[in-house]
A and B are shown apart, each in its own frame.
Chain A
C-alpha cells in the first residue's frame, strides 16, 4: 500500500519564507518534499500538534521546540498519520489534577472551618462536667448579667420555685429562675441552670400553665446543654481564628463569646428539641399542655402587635412546623391537669414587679 501524499506548507523557523511541500508519513519519519529543493525527513517524535483538533483549524505541528512548523490543511491527515501526531501539546495545558486537588483541599478546609469543627466541638461539649457548666454560667452571669435589675418578691419566688420543682424535680442542675425588671420581651437560660425572664414577657403571660410552658422550654435548654453546645460551636471558630492570627489567648475568646451570649442563637433543631421535651416534662408533671399552645398563640399575637425589637420572638420563630408539633403532642394529654399553683398565689405573684 502506498502512503497518502499530503500537500502542505513548511516554515523553517529561520525566515518567514513559505515552502509548499508534499508530505508522506512513515513509522518514524515524516518525509517532506519541497516544490523546490531536496526532500528531507523530520523525526515523528519531534512533531508536536499545536492546532488542528478543531474542524476550523488546519493541522499544525511545531518541530522540536519551534519555531519551525509544518501545516497540512486536510484534517484527514490526523487519522492516517502515526497516532502520536494527533496528541495536543501537553506543555501548554493546565495542570488540572493539581489545580482541582488544591481547590478541593481549600474547599475542605473551609468546610472544616464552618461545619466540621463546630460539630466536633458540640460533641465534645456533651462531655463537659456539670460543675464546669455551672461555673461557666456563673461567670457569664456575673460578667454580663450582674448589672441586670432583678425583681425580688416572695409570692413570685413561691410560684417560680413551685414551677421548677414540678417541672424538673430530679435535675442535675440547680435551676434558678429570676425576673428582670426590663420591658424587653425576652427569656433565656445560661449554662448551669440560671434562667432569666424579662418583665416585658412576664407581663404578657396570662396563666400559670403558660408560665410553666415557658419555664419547661427553657429548662430543657439547660438540661440538653444547648447553650453550652452553642458556645462550643462559636468558640471553636473564634479560637481557630485566634490561632490563625497568632492570638491564642483562649480566655479572651471565652470572654468574647460570653459577651455574645445574649445574642446566642440555638439551632432550630435545639428549639424543637426543647419544645418536645418541654411538653413531655409538663405532661409528666401533670400540667395541662395547652399552656404551651396558648403561650405559642400568645407570642404570635405579640409578634403581630409589636414586630420590632422582640428578642424572644425573633429567636423563637413561630414557624408552622413548631405550632403543628406542639398541637400534635399536646393532643395526647388526657385529663384535666393539676393547677401549678393556687389562684391566690398566682394573683399575688402577678401583682409583683408591675
Chain B
C-alpha cells in the first residue's frame, strides 16, 4: 500500500496489526511464563516482536523479525554474569583495601562498572535488533564494534561530566550520529547531518520547565529531540519527515505505565497498537526509495554468531 499526500511525495509505513490478536499472544505468553517460572518470557517477548514487525508494512512489503527466544535468554545470562562479576570484583576490592576506604572503593567501582555496562547495552541491543530485522529479504545492520564505540562513549561522557551536563544535547546527538551513520539496510547506509547545538535552546527550556511542570516538560523535549534526529536522518538521499508531539508521547507513556501496573501488562496490547499507529503515521518518508538496487549486507552471514562474538562484547539483546 502506498499513500501519496498532497504537495509532497510523502509516504508512510502502515501498521496492520490489531490489539485483540496481540492480546491473545500476550495472554498465552503470560500463562506460559508463569508455568515455566519466568523462563518463557524470552520467547514470549520474541513472539510479540514478531507480531509487531510482521504487521508493519512499507510500500506493500512487511518487515520481519528473525530473533529467537534462545538468543534473548543467552543475552540475559551474559548480563547476569556481567553484573555478578562486577559485584564480585567490587567485593574483592573492598576486602583487599578494607576499612572506610574499602567502602568508598566498593561504591565507586560499582558505579564505574554500571557506567561501563550502559554503552555495552546501548550498542548491543540496537545492533541485535537491527541484525534481526529484515524487509524484502534484506537485513538491517549496525556495523559498529564495542572497540570503536567504547572510547567514543567515554570521551563524550567525560565532556558531559566536566560541563556539568550542559553538553547533554550534543552528547545525545553525537551518540545518534555515531549509531545512525553505521546503520545500513543491506549495503546502503543511513546518513545523519544534525548538530547538537541546534537542540541547545530546547534543552535549556526543558531544564527550566522540568520541575515547575512536575517533569512533564520532558515529553516535549523528547518529541523535539526525536523530531530533530529523524529530520536529519536520510536514506538514499530521502529525508524523514517526523511530526511527533509532546502530548501524544505523554499520553502513550502514561497509559502504558497505568496498564502495566494495574493489569500486570495484560492490557498493554491496546497501547502498543496505538503507539505503532502513532509512530507509523507520524514518521514519514519524503521521497521515493529505490530498494531494487540494494544488495544484501555482509552481516547476514554471521548474524547468529552476533551474540557470541566475544566475552566483553556482550552483543545480544540484553532484554532491556
A interface, CB within 8 angstroms of B: 9, 11-18, 50-51, 54, 56-58, 60, 66-69, 71, 91-94, 96, 99-100, 102-103, 106-107
- A349 vs B60: C-alpha distance when bound (angstroms): 99
Selected contact of B40 from candidates A11, A50, A94, CB within 8 Å:
A94
A93 & B43 in contact (Cβ 8 Å cutoff): yes
A51 & B54 in contact (Cβ 8 Å cutoff): yes
- A100 vs B43: C-alpha distance when bound (angstroms): 13
Task: Write the B38-68 contact mask toward A (1 if CB under 8 angstroms, else 0).
Answer: 0110110010001100110000111010101
Contacts of B260 in A (CB 8 A): none
Which listed segment binds A: B83-91, B143-151, B189-197, B290-298?
B290-298
B18, B54, B62, B294 — which one has the most chain A CB atoms within 10 A of its CB?
B54
B interface, CB within 8 angstroms of A: 16-18, 21, 32, 35-37, 39-40, 42-43, 46, 50-51, 54-55, 60-62, 64, 66, 68-69, 134-139, 185-186, 291-296, 300
Closest to A54 in B: B21
Contacts of B42 in A (CB 8 A): 94
Interface of B is mostly: mixed
Q: List 28 A-B contacts (CB under 8 A).
A: A11-B136, A11-B137, A13-B296, A14-B296, A15-B138, A15-B292, A15-B294, A15-B295, A16-B138, A16-B291, A16-B292, A16-B294, A17-B136, A18-B136, A51-B50, A56-B17, A58-B62, A60-B62, A67-B137, A67-B296, A69-B64, A94-B40, A94-B69, A96-B32, A96-B36, A99-B39, A100-B36, A107-B37
- A181 vs B297: C-alpha distance when bound (angstroms): 87
A68 & B137 in contact (Cβ 8 Å cutoff): yes
A17 & B292 in contact (Cβ 8 Å cutoff): yes
Expressed in whole angstroms, the minimum distance between the Cβ of A106 and any Cβ of chain B is 6
Contacts of A17 in B (CB 8 A): 136, 291-293
A15 & B54 in contact (Cβ 8 Å cutoff): no
Contacts of A54 in B (CB 8 A): 21, 51
A66 & B137 in contact (Cβ 8 Å cutoff): yes
B54 & A57 in contact (Cβ 8 Å cutoff): yes
B46 & A92 in contact (Cβ 8 Å cutoff): yes
Contacts of A9 in B (CB 8 A): 61
Closest to B43 in A: A94
Contacts of A57 in B (CB 8 A): 54-55, 62
B21 & A12 in contact (Cβ 8 Å cutoff): no
Contacts of A94 in B (CB 8 A): 32, 40, 42-43, 69
A103 & B37 in contact (Cβ 8 Å cutoff): yes
Contacts of B186 in A (CB 8 A): 15-16
Closest to A70 in B: B137
Contacts of A102 in B (CB 8 A): 36, 39
Contacts of A15 in B (CB 8 A): 138, 186, 292-296
